[in-house]
Structure 1
Amino acid sequence: MLWTALLPSPCSGTAACTDAAQRALATWALQFTPRVALADEAVLMEVEASVRLFGGRRALRDRVWNEGRELGVARLAWAPNGLAALALVRAGIENGLRHPLEALLDTLPMDTLSAVHPHRLTLEHIGCRTLGDVRALPRDGLARRFDQHLLNALDQVYGLVPEAHDWVALPEHFEERLELMARVEQAPALLFGARRLLRVLSGWLAARRAGVTAFTLHWAHDAMRSRAAGEGGEITIRTAEPTRDIEHLCRLLGEHLARVELKAPVGDLRLVATEVRPLHDVSASLLPDTVRQGEQLGLVLERLAARLGPQRVLRPVLCEDHRPEWMCRWQPAALPLPRKGAPGTDLPQPGFLLPAPLRLLVQGDHPVYHGRLMLLLGPQRVEGGWWDRAGDEDRNVVRDYWVALSAEAGVVWVFQTRLDGAPAWYLHGHFA
């Protein structure tokens, strides 16, 4: 697993201000993963499943750090579990993946683990200074003298037992407040604090796969104001189409704030997304943008083959073969496509084939894959290949294919062999 811990800068405001800043950071973090948790003063994210989506660990780290600094993130750390990432970020160590976790944690001060805090003085009196010192104490004596919570936390931070977290839920509606560090007397200067709120809004929109078409910025006047000034003001910004581009939203807001005159100093901001619509992102493509602008795919492939070499640009070609493993082959894109394709079939074909069929367990007469499979369609017999050999490999197959349903894995493609003395069931593909 891969976890990151984000440690915000200490807030100079009230405790409520600190909690609001932490919740805002968690809301922004939901764009990277749905597994976001609050842990004491930090925000934890489990991002193992998000690494490829955001271009790898380095790209994900850079984006989290660059955007997070605008929201007050002072430090971050990476580790195989959440408590270890929290301990490392408190110690100012960013990379917990470069060295063995056990050796790294043993050197950390005791106060990097929250469960140690109630017992810190006692542990110091018996000579403990680091997490390694605490872990080296006899477990029986540790359990009798201290609470079980300390032992559980030690096991969790070292990855010996799983963690349990309360995940942050994505709010249905966006409304965030920011207490300004100093009173603002000119409206354009509100953009500095509003940009921080817009950054959180952008993360919330990304998590919802949506864009905003209207948002309202509210400001509250300082308590030491004249009665004529009122409690505050507001401004609503509208866009022609849904967007979550923070630079575009900041430019629009800046243009409108330039024409606003504040009646009193402002100490508090509140941003509300008033109109939100689904936003369908354009899929990233390995091909040039000219393909989407009308250039034929064949011409693009020819140019890529000329740049990279003909053997580096391949296209799939359907073959006239009933056996699924050899129904498709790859050929250089520059070669002409054959006229004949694969033969038709009565059953639907899966979008994903396994590199090699996976043998399944059988309960009674039914195959098992994440539970007992329900056979939906079939059988369709695929037979042939007695003439086809590749070295010592005999490619002769006699199989009965079925479309089956798994309660956990969804719709799958399985077959039963007919050549073997004891027929067996195999998983061969998944339907998208």
Structure 2
Amino acid sequence: MEVHASLRLFGGKRALRERVRDEAAELGVGQVSSASTSLAALAFARAGVDNGFARPLQEGLDRLPMEVLSAVEPHRDTLARLGCKTLGDIRKLPRGGVSRRFDKKLLTALDQAYGLRPEGLQWEVLPETFKTRLELMSRVELAPALMCGARRLLLQMCGWLAARHCGASAFTLRWAHDAMRARSAGDGGELTVRTGEPTRNVEHLSRLLNEHLAKTELLAPVGDLELEAIEVRSLEPASASLLPDTLQQGESLREVLERIAARLGPERVLRPVLTEDHRLEWMQFWQPASGKPPRERAASDGMPQPTWVLPQPLKLATQDHRPMYQGVLHLIAGPHRVEGGWWHRIDTADGADTAHVQRDYFVALSEHAGVLWVFQERLANDHTAWYLHGVFA
């Protein structure tokens, strides 16, 4: 990787090298080295040397065995018979003789490694879709144990998403059964994980996948994994602040709800959603917390709305045409007229009926019960009747 232009962004050469080393270890990378040229960095990595800047480049490369450069491989036996063991030994040979006896690739590779000739590096071109496989080091018989290999695939997917400035809202993990399996077990299985919003947070995706695998039973030992991003959308990262970060650490509420829903089932984790309806009974409905909510609206229209709603309106006693509930009620706001629902048909004990309402709501104060939400029915036979419908917390 050519990182010279990014050193300041990542806090300097040492900080970037340590970050690459730590994060690449989870992807199975065994050695990370740095140098002033790409071929030199590759040579140091193959020789097990971490820092190619510890000594001058020529001195460091001259000490390395000649096998660290791929261009040496076709001529290794010949060079060995000439007494060469290190890259420094090859450089001591006459350039004219090396040029005539060996191909140009050898001298070109040496010059590029030592910084005597410019290197023509190519940009890494990412594929349009993400789908990759991993052969496990041993056969896995329990589904939760698949996380060790699956996390490596998730890291690759999140890296691909970050490079494309995207997030995944759904991905599929597939596994292939071992060849020595029962015929009834089939070739393998798969598991699809969905999120409420596109993300490339590897920790959150790992927790979600782990919850799903905890409820999965493998029919046979697994030898191979495959991960595919099936729903990808553009995702711009949040702007960083110049002020100290005061945001809470850990999972957000959305991530916690998605993880709990993965464990208990989406039908057991619900949230209320406001709808385009002024009738109190149908002003909201419950849906899975991980689902995408419809377009919401503020349903109060300037009037306060009760915190708790009674399952059925309670008819109140009256005194001199004033409603009573643990004493005479004092009307402090209203009327708030709500009318509609002629289109809404519901099933009742007497058959199908409409949920049409014509009500005037008031905010009322009770000396003992607090603030209440009461109404009168317009155009009703008993237009003096009052009903209690909600309580303010």
Distance 2:149 2:115 in 1: 40
Q: Which residue of 2 aligns with 1:210?
A: 166
Match of 1:142 among 86, 98, 103: 98
Counterparts of 1:4-403 in structure 2 under 5 Å? Answer: 45-289=1-245
Q: Secondary structure at the match of 1:123?
A: helix
Measure how far apart 1:206 and its partner are. 0.9
Q: Secondary structure at the match of 1:73?
A: coil
Q: Secondary structure at the match of 1:272?
A: strand
Extract unaligned runs of 5+ from structure 1. 1-44, 292-432
Deviations 1:257-294 (A, max 9, x none): 11111111111110000111122212223313469xxx
Please tell me the residue identity of whatever aligns with 2:46. Answer: R
Measure how far apart 1:59 and its partner are. 2.4
Is 74-83 or 145-154 further displaced after alignment?
Answer: 145-154
Please tell me the residue identity of whatever aligns with 2:129. Answer: H
Distance 1:289 1:157, change over 3 A: closer
Distance 2:184 2:59 in 1: 64
TM normalised by structure 2 equals 0.61
Distance 1:290 1:269 in 2: 39
Distance 1:143 1:290 in 2: 63
Q: Which residue of 2 aligns with 1:427?
A: none
Distance 1:79 1:290 in 2: 38
TM normalised by structure 1 equals 0.55
Native 8 Å contact 2:17 2:34 kept in 1 = no
Distance 1:170 1:202 in 2: 13
Q: Which residue of 2 aligns with 1:401?
A: none
Q: Secondary structure at the match of 1:77?
A: coil
Q: Secondary structure at the match of 1:205?
A: helix
Measure how far apart 1:223 and its partner are. 1.3
Distance 2:5 2:165 in 1: 18
Residue identity (%): 65
The root-mean-square deviation of aligned C-alpha atoms, in Å, is: 1.5
Distance 1:285 1:59, change over 3 A: farther
Deviations 1:190-209 (A, max 9, x none): 11110010010111111011
Distance 2:207 2:246 in 1: 29
Distance 2:140 2:81 in 1: 50
Distance 2:11 2:237 in 1: 17
Distance 2:191 2:40 in 1: 44
Distance 1:93 1:84 in 2: 11
Distance 1:47 1:86 in 2: 14
Distance 2:196 2:172 in 1: 15
Distance 1:188 1:266 in 2: 12
Please tell me the residue identity of whatever aligns with 1:67. Answer: E
Measure how far apart 1:166 and its partner are. 4.1
Please tell me the residue identity of whatever aligns with 1:190. Answer: L
Q: Secondary structure at the match of 2:236?
A: coil
Q: Which residue of 1 aligns with 2:306?
A: none
Please tell me the residue identity of whatever aligns with 2:160. Answer: W
Extract unaligned runs of 5+ from structure 2. 248-393
Measure how far apart 1:93 and its partner are. 0.9
Deviations 1:52-93 (A, max 9, x none): 232322222122111111111111110111111111111111
Distance 1:248 1:157 in 2: 41
Distance 1:53 1:274 in 2: 32
Q: Secondary structure at the match of 2:169?
A: strand
